[in-house]
C-alpha cells in the first residue's frame, strides 16, 4: 500500500511565518508522490495545534507525518504523543527543524525558503522509510548485589533493604565495615567511628532481606541490567557462622603468630582470628595459608578449645548463585605503598608510618590500646606529617589526605600536649564547609605548617628522624621522633579482577570509570552496574555515603518489583541472515552490548544494554546491523533531499 504522508509546516507565529514563505512550500510539496495532504499551521505545539494534528491523522488516514517546525529538542516528544493518541505509531513521524536551523539563521527570505523547502523535501524522502517501533519492556529482577562492605556498601544495602529489596552483600574480608571501622575518630564531627558505624553493621547483619557473604568474592557475572546472574565464591571459613558465638576461646591455644594486616602489620594475630576487637560478624576465620593443620601438621588446638563444636577443617569453598537486577560496586580504596618512594624511608626507617598505621596506633581496639608509641615504647615528642606522598607520581590529588592529616594532628595535639607537630604540605586542600575551620583550629593549636612542595626527604638522625625539605641550597631540616605519611589513595588490589569479570572500564588511575563525571558520577558505562565510594575515586566517608545513596535511589526508581523495565527503543539490531560473524563490531560497543552467539556464529545486540549510538552500524562492513530510526536507507534518503 502506498503511504499517505501528511506534511505540516508550522509558522510558529511570526518566528517562521515571517522568515520563510511557508505557503509556497506547502503548495510545492502537495503534488509529490505519497503526500496525501500538506498544510500550514500557526502554532502546532499549542493545544489547538495538537488537536489539529490528531484530527488530520485520523481524518486523512495518514500513515506518515512530516512536521516542519522548531527544533525536535523542544516538542518532538509532545508531537509523538499526539500521533500515538491518534493511533499512529509515534516513530512514523519525521520532524525537521526550520526554525533554529533555518528561519533564525537566514535573514534572506528567499534563501530561507529555499533551505526550508530542501529540509522538508528531505523529511518527505525519509518518511516512507520510517518503521514503526514498539517500545519494549522486559521483566526484571529487583534484587541487588552490593560488592564491598565499607561505609558506601552499607549505605547502599540499607537504602535498598529499607524499600524491601533483597540485597546480597559480598565482602572479601572476614568482617564488614571497611576502613572506617578501624578508625578511632572521624572528621569533621570527631565522632567515635566504631560507635557511628556499629548500628549500621548490626542492622545490615540482622536485616532479613540482606544476605551477607563475608570472606567471599564475586566470581562471575552474566546477563545485563535487570537480569544479572552472579556467582559468589564463599571461601571456607572453617568456623561455622551458625554455631560460633564469638567467645574467642579458640585464639589462645593457636600456636601460630603472624603479622596482623588489619593492624597494618603493627600487631600479631593467630592463624585463627578476628581482624580486630569488635569486628563484625564476630566469627573467627582460619587463615589457611598459615594454619599448621593445612600445612600438614597434626594440630587441633582450636578445635579442641571450642566449646561449641564450631570448627570444621573439612569446610569447603561454596559457589553460590544469585539473580539480581543491578550491581553496586563499593570495593573501596587503599593507600599507595610508600616503599615505592624511597625518599621517605618508609619500610627502612623505624617510626616512619603511614596515616593508616597511626590510625591503628590511635585506635582503642588497636595494637597499643590507643597509645601512640614509638618502636622503643616511648611517646613521641615530635611528629612530622608529610602530605601529598605520591601525588606527583599518581598525577592526582586524593583530596582527603589534608583533612585526615589535620584530624590526626589535632588528635595528637590532644593526646600529646607537649609534642611538637609539623605538617609538610604542597597545597592545602580543605574544600568543604567545616574543613577550613579545622585547619585554622590546628594552626591555633600550635601545629606548624611548612610548605615543602613535595621536596621532603627523611633520613635517620641519631635515633631520631631528619626531615629535610626545600631545594638543596635553601634546604632546612627538622628533627622529629615520628614521621606520618599521607600516601595517595588508590583503588584496592582486587579492582582489576572485578573489572575483568564485569567488563567495566577503569580510568587512567585504575579507579572504576564513571559514566559521566558530573551527571552520573555513581554509574559505570554498563547499565545497571554502579560504582560508588572510593572505588570510583578517592572520597571521604560523607561523599562515599552520598554516592551510595544516589546509586541506591537510581536502582529503586528503575527496578521496581512487578514493574517491567522500558528499554531504549532506538537500538541497533543485527540481521542474522546478513551477519557473517566478522566480529568487527564487538570491540566497538562502549556498553559491551554486543556479544557473539557461538552457535549461530553471529553478533547479537543486547537491547537492555544498547543505547543506540550507531557506532557499530557505521562499522559493520556487510551492512548487517541496523540502527532503528536511523537506518542507512533513511539517512541516505534524507541526504538526497538536503544535498540537492
Sheet with 93-97, strands from edge to edge, namely: 35-41, 5-10, 64-69, 93-97
The correct pick among 105, 243, 340, 566 for binding another protein (CB under 8 A) is 105
Q: Does 222 bind another protein (CB under 8 A)?
A: no
Which residues 542-581 are close enough to bind another protein by CB under 8 A?
Answer: 570, 577-581
Alpha carbon of residue 115 to chain centroid: 46
The correct pick among 30, 348, 432, 583 for binding another protein (CB under 8 A) is 583
Round to whole Å and give the CA distance between 281 and 190: 25
Half-sphere exposure (Cβ direction) of 513: Cα atoms closer than 13 Å: 16
99-104, long-range: CB within 8 Å, 24+ apart, which pairs? 99/12, 99/15, 99/16, 99/69, 99/70, 99/71, 100/70, 100/71, 101/71, 102/19, 102/20, 103/12, 103/15, 103/16, 103/19, 103/20, 104/15, 104/19
H/E stretch holding 40? strand 35-41
Residue 412 three-state SS:
helix
Q: Does 4 bind another protein (CB under 8 A)?
A: no
Round to whole Å and give the CA distance between 586 and 625: 12
Least distance to another protein from the beta carbon of 565, Å? 20
Alpha carbon of residue 521 to chain centroid: 6
Q: Which is nearer to another protein, 126 or 469 (CB)?
A: 126
Beta-ladder partners of 559: none
Q: Are 572 and 616 in contact (CB under 8 A)?
A: yes
Least distance to another protein from the beta carbon of 620, Å? 7
Q: Does 520 bind another protein (CB under 8 A)?
A: no
Q: Does 642 bind another protein (CB under 8 A)?
A: yes
From residue 300 to residue 339, the character string flagging contacts with another protein as x (rule: CB under 8 A) and all else as - is: ----------------------------------------
Which residues 608-637 are close enough to bind another protein by CB under 8 A?
Answer: 611-615, 617-624, 627, 630, 632, 635-636
Q: Does 97 bind another protein (CB under 8 A)?
A: yes
Q: Does 102 bind another protein (CB under 8 A)?
A: yes
Return the closest-CA partner of residue 546 out of 558, 555, 533: 533
Which residues 338-357 are close enough to bind another protein by CB under 8 A?
Answer: none
Span interacting with another protein, options 35-43, 97-105, 276-284, 413-421, rule CB under 8 A: 97-105
C-alpha cell at 400: 582527603
Alpha-carbon distances of 300 from 54, 258, 274, 275, 313, rounded to whole Å: 83, 18, 18, 21, 9
Q: Which is nearer to another protein, 195 or 643 (CB)?
A: 643
Strand (E) positions, 98-249?
A: 137-138, 144-147, 167-170, 185-186, 191-192, 210-213, 216-224, 227-234
Q: Which is nearer to another protein, 217 or 515 (CB)?
A: 515
Sequence-distant (6+) residues with CB within 8 A of 449 are 422, 423, 425, 428, 443
Least distance to another protein from the beta carbon of 108, Å? 7
Q: Does 396 bind another protein (CB under 8 A)?
A: no
Round to whole Å and give the CA distance between 198 and 144: 23
C-alpha cell at 429: 586542600
Span interacting with another protein, options 100-108, 305-313, 420-428, 468-476, rule CB under 8 A: 100-108
The correct pick among 248, 251, 596, 604 for binding another protein (CB under 8 A) is 596
Strand (E) positions, 284-381?
A: 285-286, 318-324, 326-329, 333-335, 352-354
Round to whole Å and give the CA distance between 541 and 180: 8
Which residues 61-90 are close enough to bind another protein by CB under 8 A?
Answer: 71-73
Least distance to another protein from the beta carbon of 71, Å? 5
Least distance to another protein from the beta carbon of 427, Å? 25
Least distance to another protein from the beta carbon of 619, Å? 4
The correct pick among 164, 347, 475, 590 for binding another protein (CB under 8 A) is 590
Q: Does 141 bind another protein (CB under 8 A)?
A: no
Q: Are 342 and 352 in contact (CB under 8 A)?
A: no
Least distance to another protein from the beta carbon of 579, Å? 7
The correct pick among 101, 267, 282, 453 for binding another protein (CB under 8 A) is 101
C-alpha cell at 6: 501528511
Q: Does 584 bind another protein (CB under 8 A)?
A: yes
Q: Does 588 bind another protein (CB under 8 A)?
A: yes
From residue 106 to residue 125, the character string flagging contacts with another protein as x (rule: CB under 8 A) and all else as - is: xxx--xx-xx--xx--x---
Where does this chain bind another protein (CB under 8 A)? Answer: 71-73, 97, 99-102, 104-108, 111-112, 114-115, 118-119, 122, 525, 570, 577-584, 586-588, 590, 596, 601, 611-615, 617-624, 627, 630, 632, 635-636, 638-640, 642-644
Amino acid at each position: 500500500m502506498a503511504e499517505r504522508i501528511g506534511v505540516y509546516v508550522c509558522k510558529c507565529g511570526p518566528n517562521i511565518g515571517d522568515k520563510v514563505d511557508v505557503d509556497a512550500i506547502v503548495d510545492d510539496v502537495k503534488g509529490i508522490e505519497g503526500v496525501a495532504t500538506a498544510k500550514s499551521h500557526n502554532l502546532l505545539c499549542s493545544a489547538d495545534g495538537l488537536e489539529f494534528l490528531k484530527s488530520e491523522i485520523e481524518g486523512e488516514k495518514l500513515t506518515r507525518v512530516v512536521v516542519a517546525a522548531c527544533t525536535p529538542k523542544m516538542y518532538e516528544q509532545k508531537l509523538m504523543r499526539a500521533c500515538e493518541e491518534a493511533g499512529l505509531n509515534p516513530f512514523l513521524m519525521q520532524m525537521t527543524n526550520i526554525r533554529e536551523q533555518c528561519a533564525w539563521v537566514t535573514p534572506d527570505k528567499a534563501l530561507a525558503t529555499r533551505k526550508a523547502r530542501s529540509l522538508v523535501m528531505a523529511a518527505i524522502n525519509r518518511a516512507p522509510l520510517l518503521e514503526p517501533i514498539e517500545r519494549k519492556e522486559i521483566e526484571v529482577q529487583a534484587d541487588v548485589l552490593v560488592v564491598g562492605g565499607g561505609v558506601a556498601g552499607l549505605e547502599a544495602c540499607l537504602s535498598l533493604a529499607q524499600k524491601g529489596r533483597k540485597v546480597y552483600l559480598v565482602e572479601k574480608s572476614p568482617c564488614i565495615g571497611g576502613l572506617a571501622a578501624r578508625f578511632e575518630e572521624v572528621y569533621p564531627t570527631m565522632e567515635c567511628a566504631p560507635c557511628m558505624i556499629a548500628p549500621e553493621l548490626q542492622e545490615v547483619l540482622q536485616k532479613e532481606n540482606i544476605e551477607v557473604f563475608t570472606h567471599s568474592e564475586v566470581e562471575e557475572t552474566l546477563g545485563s541490567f535487570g537480569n544479572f546472574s552472579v556467582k559468589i565464591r564463599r571461601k571456607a571459613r572453617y568456623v561455622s557462622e551458625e554455631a560460633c558465638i564469638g567467645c574467642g576461646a579458640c585464639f589462645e591455644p593457636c600456636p601460630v603468630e603472624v603479622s596482623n594486616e588489619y593492624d597494618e602489620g603493627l600487631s600479631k594475630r593467630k592463624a585463627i582470628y578476628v581482624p580486630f576487637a569488635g569486628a563484625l560478624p564476630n566469627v573467627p576465620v582460619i587463615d589457611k595459608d598459615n594454619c599448621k593443620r593445612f600445612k600438614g601438621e597434626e594440630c587441633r588446638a582450636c578445635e579442641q578449645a571450642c566449646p561449641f563444636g564450631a570448627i570444621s577443617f573439612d569446610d569447603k569453598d561454596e559457589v553460590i548463585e544469585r539473580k539480581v537486577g543491578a550491581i553496586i560496586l563499593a570495593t573501596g580504596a587503599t593507600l599507595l605503598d610508600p616503599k615505592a618512594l624511597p625518599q621517605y624511608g618508609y619500610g627502612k626507617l623505624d617510626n616512619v608510618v603511614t596515616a593508616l598505621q597511626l590510625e591503628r596506633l590511635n585506635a582503642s581496639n588497636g595494637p597499643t590500646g590507643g597509645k601512640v608509641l614509638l618502636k622503643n615504647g616511648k611517646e613521641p615528642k615530635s611528629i612530622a606529617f608529610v602530605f601529598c606522598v605520591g601525588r606527583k607520581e599518581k598525577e592526582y590529588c586524593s583530596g582527603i589526605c589534608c583533612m585526615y592529616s589535620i584530624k590526626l594532628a589535632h588528635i595528637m595535639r590532644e593526646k600529646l600536649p607537649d609534642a611538637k607537630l609539623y605538617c609538610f604540605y604542597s597545597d592545602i586542600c580543605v574544600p568543604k564547609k567545616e574543613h577550613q575551620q579545622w585547619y585554622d583550629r590546628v594552626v591555633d593549636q600550635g601545629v606548624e605548617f611548612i610548605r615543602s612542595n613535595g621536596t621532603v626527604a627523611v633520613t635517620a638522625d641519631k635515633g631520631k628522624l631528619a626531615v629535610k625539605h626545600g631545594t638543596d641550597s635553601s634546604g632546612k631540616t627538622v628533627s622529629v621522633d615520628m614521621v606520618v605519611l599521607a600516601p595517595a589513595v588508590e583503588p584496592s588490589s582486587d579492582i582489576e579482577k572485578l573489572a575483568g569479570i564485569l567488563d567495566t572500564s577503569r580510568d587512567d588511575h585504575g579507579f572504576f570509570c564513571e559514566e559521566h563525571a558530573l551527571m552520573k558520577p555513581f554509574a559505570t558505562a554498563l547499565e545497571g552496574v554502579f560504582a560508588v565510594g572510593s572505588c570510583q575515586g578517592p572520597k571521604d566517608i560523607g561523599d562515599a555515603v552520598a554516592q551510595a545513596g544516589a546509586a541506591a535511589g537510581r536502582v529503586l526508581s528503575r527496578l521496581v518489583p512487578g514493574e517491567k523495565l522500558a528499554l531504549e527503543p532506538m537500538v541497533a539490531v543485527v540481521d542474522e541472515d546478513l551477519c557473517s560473524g566478522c566480529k568487527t563490531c564487538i570491540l566497538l560497543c562502549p556498553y559491551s552490548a554486543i556479544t557473539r552467539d557461538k552457535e549461530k556464529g553471529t553478533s547479537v545486540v543486547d537491547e537492555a544494554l544498547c543505547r543506540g549510538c550507531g557506532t557499530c552500524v557505521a562499522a559493520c562492513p556487510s551492512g548487517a546491523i541496523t540502527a532503528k530510526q536511523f537506518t542507512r536507507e533513511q539517512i541516505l534518503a534524507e541526504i538526497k533531499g538536503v544535498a540537492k
